[in-house]
Amino acid sequence: MNPEAAMVPAILETGDGVTAVAHPNIALVKYWGKRDESLILPATGSLSMTLNLYPTTTTVRLTTRAPADSVTMNSRPAPRQTHLRVERFLNTVRAFTGRDERAVVETTNTVPTGAGLASSASGFAALATAAATAFGLELDPRALSRLARRGSGSACRSIFGGLVVWHAGTGDGAAGDRSSYAEPIDAEGLDPALIIAVVDPAPKAMSSREAMRRTIATSPFYLPWTTVNATDLDAMRAAVARADLDAMGEIAERSAFGMHATMLAARPPIRYLSPLSLSVLDRVVALRADGITAYATMDAGPNVKVLCARTDATRIAAAISAVGQHISTHVALPGPGAALLPGGGS
């Protein structure tokens, strides 16, 4: 390398790059487990709501000078595991395009990372959107969702706004890859909100990826859950079609409890819920006893999300905040799909 070039930071020769924004999504029918680890083909279909909170903004700049990809999150070098996942994802994009530039990736996350608040969904949806454009891949939204899936399964759903279904797809290899994509579903007549009750913003002890592996390998409840999940997904789609928020809530709650039951039966058991999570769940039951539509869902962390009507959201959030002084609540409405920022084309 000539000495002058060595003095120029890689970032200076890479132009403005491409910037994309994506929001997290919360599953109302859960994805838990893969039938193919490398293509990230799920064992079951799932259905989610994209939030209007906690955007992730990611800029991708290409460089021919740097020997490796660089990844910063909130202005700091990404932790090693995250760096490796991003690099693996960029290798997939490079393989699709036959290009070999390295990427300078800068991400700003507004959601607590790794706390079961879907930061990997918004993260890989934003990265897929920005990287596809930066590397000159022209993808329709469905193909973009398949690409985002390769970074993190749930990320495919964040490509779209509002309510979104992720089809499990059929078969293995290329056939499985083609048929496992996300698409938005009509939510006419619904005005839902999800209250995010943060009981602990700290990163979880075990990644969902690792927890899924252990559940599949050791939980006797896993296989039955996948069968129930398929009927829950059909029932959820029917409930959405008739704008029946109570039915949606019942299905969402049993999908979440079922998923957690599979983990509790793993060996050794995996338990993400804390005493404070259970107190919030008790409050949700009490609200329902008072005739209020409120149903809980929980992911790979102790935080609880409560599905309700938008018109009830403020008072339900207040009732949940009152459960404990360390609980903060945020009201999320259906949010937008992933998008390039204006001027973000390469």
The residues of the shown chain that bind ligand DP6, judged by CB under 6 A, are 27, 30-32, 40, 46, 120, 152-154, 208-209, 299-300
Label the pairing between strands 25-29 and 46-50. Answer: antiparallel
Question: Which residue's CB is nearer to ligand DP6, number 99 or number 209?
Answer: 209
* DSSP result, 64-111: SS-SS-EEEETTEEPPHHHHHHHHHHHHHHHHHHT---EEEEEEEE-S
Q: Which residue has the tokens 């390469």?
A: 346
- Element holding 252 (H helix, E strand): helix 245-264
Nearest residue relative to ligand DP6 (C-beta): 153
Rg (CA), the chain: 20
Question: Which residue's CB is nearer to ligand DP6, number 164 or number 284?
Answer: 164
Residue 184, burial from CB neighbour count under 10 angstroms (0-12, 13-18, 19+): middle
Minimum CB distance to ligand DP6, residue 308 (Å):
19
Minimum CB distance to ligand DP6, residue 138 (Å):
25
Contacts of 222 (CB under 8 A, 6+ apart): 33, 215, 216, 262
How many helices (H) and strands (E) the chain has is answered by 10, 16
Farthest CA pair distance, the chain? 73
Minimum CB distance to ligand DP6, residue 185 (Å):
15
Question: Which residue's CB is nearer to ligand DP6, number 90 or number 319?
Answer: 90
Question: Which residue's CB is nearer to ligand DP6, number 10 or number 273?
Answer: 273
Minimum CB distance to ligand DP6, residue 272 (Å):
9
Minimum CB distance to ligand DP6, residue 153 (Å):
3
Please tell me the distance from the alpha carbon of residue 183 to that of residue 341, in angstroms, as a whole number.
21
Minimum CB distance to ligand DP6, residue 100 (Å):
26
Q: Which of 107, 108, 19, 101 is nearest to 68 (CA)?
A: 101
Minimum CB distance to ligand DP6, residue 64 (Å):
30
Question: Which residue's CB is nearer to ligand DP6, number 66 or number 194?
Answer: 194
Would you tell me how many other CB atoms lie within 10 Å of the CB of residue 40? 23
